[in-house]
Homo-oligomer: A and B are copies of this chain.
Amino acid sequence: MPIPAPNLYPDFNIIRLSHVELFVSDLAWSRAYYVDTLGLQVTFEDADAIYLRAMEERGHHCVILRKGTGGEVGVLGFKVWDEGELDKAEAWFKTRDLPTQWIERPFMGRVLRTRDPWGVPLEFYAQMDRLPVIAQEYKLYRGVKPLRIDHFNLFSQNVDEAVKFYGDMGFRVTEYTADEETGRTWAAWMHRKGGVHDIAFTNGTGPRLHHMAFWVPTPLNIIDLLDLMATTGYVSNIERGPGRHGISNAFFLYIRDQDGHRTEIYCSDYQTLDPDLEPIKWDLKDPQRQTLWGAPAPQSWFELGSTFQGASLTESDLKAQPIVAP
């Protein structure tokens, strides 16, 4: 299927991705990993959950670590322009016969909870508590110096349909991989905020979260994180990289926590604000689309992901779709 033209006048205005809720089996382990090692800042914690933000963020949180079934994702969150857009969002999902619910969430205003057609739990909001600026409190910087959450990447059983659905919502494609043999879209990167993506879809057993990503200042911060992880007991949590993607031109590293949640550390993609930006097409047979420098990704990277709460896969789902190593 060809990539659809962008919907430049969507029915409601999503600003950007905002946050993710990760279920983890051991909060103490996850705190050591996400806070002490990666360098995210704790904005709230109790016995059940830890709320985190990155260094330049002023919203209350971009990650919620919640004690639960390790490796499951609670929800993907997005911020909309204002309260009116939130009402329009409700209408949009209702029109599509998708479940909608107004829920209470700490540190946030009205929250619209819904799911996409494949069961991925989504929430939208306009207001979240705003916190004091810490971007220039340099003594707080640690680990990889994460600046902000950058994107989500999902395994999808049908990337063409996902691109259609999220495209209707206003996400615009910046780059994609086409499978010339089948005519299908193998993967697509879609944005709202003017970078390469807020959300991406890759062919695979889905719906599952492949990774969340954090933006960092320079590739040297990624090297610093590698040195730190490699000498503090986290060497086996390093999965892939460092390297540069052909797609997005970003410098990357992939790491996985003990529950299997994958994080990409990411920097140096490009600005995509122009509505007439032409998506870049990559051939599935071109190995440089994944790693510009040629090194292959490990098999785990193609196979493993986090499930979504309430959208768990059956055994047969997990076996249904063989992953083609790129």
Contact = CB atoms under 8 A, between A and B. Distances in A.
B274 A231 contact: no
Contacts of A270: 56, 135, 147-148
Interface residues of A, number: 57
Contact of A280 (B133, B275, B280): B133
B8 A81 contact: yes
A285 to B, nearest CB: 14
A220 interface: yes
A228 interface: yes
Contacts of A232: 138-139
B139 A271 contact: no
Contact of A292 (B79, B227, B273, B280): B227
Interface of A: 8, 15-16, 56, 58-59, 79, 81-82, 127, 130, 133, 135-139, 147-148, 193-194, 217-220, 223-224, 226-232, 235-236, 238, 242, 244, 246, 249, 251, 268, 270-271, 273-278, 280, 288, 292-295
Given A15-B274, A59-B274, 13 more contacts: A8-B81, A15-B273, A15-B275, A16-B273, A56-B270, A138-B224, A139-B231, A139-B232, A193-B271, A193-B273, A194-B273, A218-B219, A219-B219
12 contacts: A56-B270, A130-B278, A136-B227, A136-B246, A138-B230, A148-B271, A218-B219, A227-B244, A227-B292, A230-B244, A235-B293, A235-B294
